[in-house]
Structure 1
Amino acid sequence: MLGDASRADKFALEFGNLRVGTIKSVSGIASGQESIEVKQNTPKGDLLIREVPGPRDLPISQVRSGVVQPGQIKLVLEPDQAQALAAAAEGGSEDAVLTISDGEGEAVHVLKLANASVDAEGEEITLTFEDINVE
């Protein structure tokens, strides 16, 4: 659940061959767009069921496997790690893995981010991804 992720004590990021083990903060751990089922009656009285886009930013606990769900995660890193990640990302998009661990080092969530790109502004990093798989 999103609440679990915010209480976790440690985050680690793998982007290509680079591993970042010290992340100051993480925000925006949400993805996708929920769909809402709308039921209506046609003028003839037949039941019509449609799915329409719902609110954005699903908590990680609600991400559905098998559904392409693009999104963004914002990180704040140590300056040297932010520079290294920005340099590693110059080669283009890569698959990335963000591991959220508890205080004992046990993984709470593993977020596999497909085709992630990096936008770096100082210590602040925005990971934009095309799809997410949560384990």
Structure 2
Amino acid sequence: MAEGDALSTHIFGIQLGGYMVESIQEVSGLTMEEDVVEVKQVTPDGKLLIRKQPGARQAGEVTITRGMDKSTEFTKWVKETLENGQVDSARQNLTIEVKDAAGETVRRIQLMQGWASKWEGPSLKAGESSAATETVTITFEEIVIE
């Protein structure tokens, strides 16, 4: 891949703790934000001066859409917080690896201390032939882009 070329493929993988999460269809909501602190002052000649500066980095949320399958590890992890209320033991670091067309990792995005805060099941409709998917919202404390 030549320098300056944007990735034209959507090849990626997600590691949760020590294992790969299967059947991922989409990852959305990857953002990094920080507060903006506005400071208002008055100059010696009485004019209002407004300065903006960076504040604290914000925690975030990401949404993962995956096919419902027989994989149990990811489901166990989701249940750890949503059914059992065990947020402290469920906190895991997630790594999203973006790959090029040759399958080489070109960027890693790490979500630190993540836990499942929302699960949404599939839309079920008689006669429909689309795949059953589940959507999981993961709340994390810090994002690190490598």
**Which structure is larger by alpha-carbon Rg, 1 or 2?**
2
Pick the structure with more helix per residue: 1
> Normalising by the residue count of structure 2, what TM-score does the alignment of the two structures yield?
0.63
Tell me how many residue pairs correspond in the alignment.
117
User: Do the aligned residues in 1 keep the contact of 2:29 with 2:61 (CA within 8 Å)?
Assistant: yes
What displacement does 1:11 show? 1.8
What displacement does 1:83 show? 5.2
How far apart are the structure 1 equivalents of 2:15 and 2:70?
12
User: Do the aligned residues in 2 keep the contact of 1:72 with 1:126 (CA within 8 Å)?
Assistant: yes
How far apart are the structure 2 equivalents of 1:78 and 1:100?
19
Cα root mean square deviation, aligned:
3.0
Pick the structure with more strand per residue: 1
What displacement does 1:39 show? 7.5
**Could you say which residue in structure 2 is the equivalent of 1:128?**
139
User: Do the aligned residues in 1 keep the contact of 2:100 with 2:106 (CA within 8 Å)?
Assistant: yes
Pairing 1:1-135 to 2, within 5 Å after superposition: 7-33=8-34, 35=36, 42-45=42-45, 49-51=51-53, 68-80=57-69, 84-89=73-78, 90=80, 91-118=89-116, 119-122=118-121, 123-135=134-146
Identify unmatched segments of 5+ residues in structure 1.
54-66
> Normalising by the residue count of structure 1, what TM-score does the alignment of the two structures yield?
0.67
Please identify runs of 4+ aligned residues in structure 1 that moved more than 4 A: 38-41
Letter in 2 for 1:22: S
Taking only the aligned residue pairs, the percentage that are identical comes to: 22
Residue 34 to residue 102, structure 1, CA distance change in 2 (3 Å): farther
User: Do the aligned residues in 1 keep the contact of 2:109 with 2:143 (CA within 8 Å)?
Assistant: yes
Identify unmatched segments of 5+ residues in structure 2.
1-5, 81-88, 122-133
Letter in 1 for 2:53: E
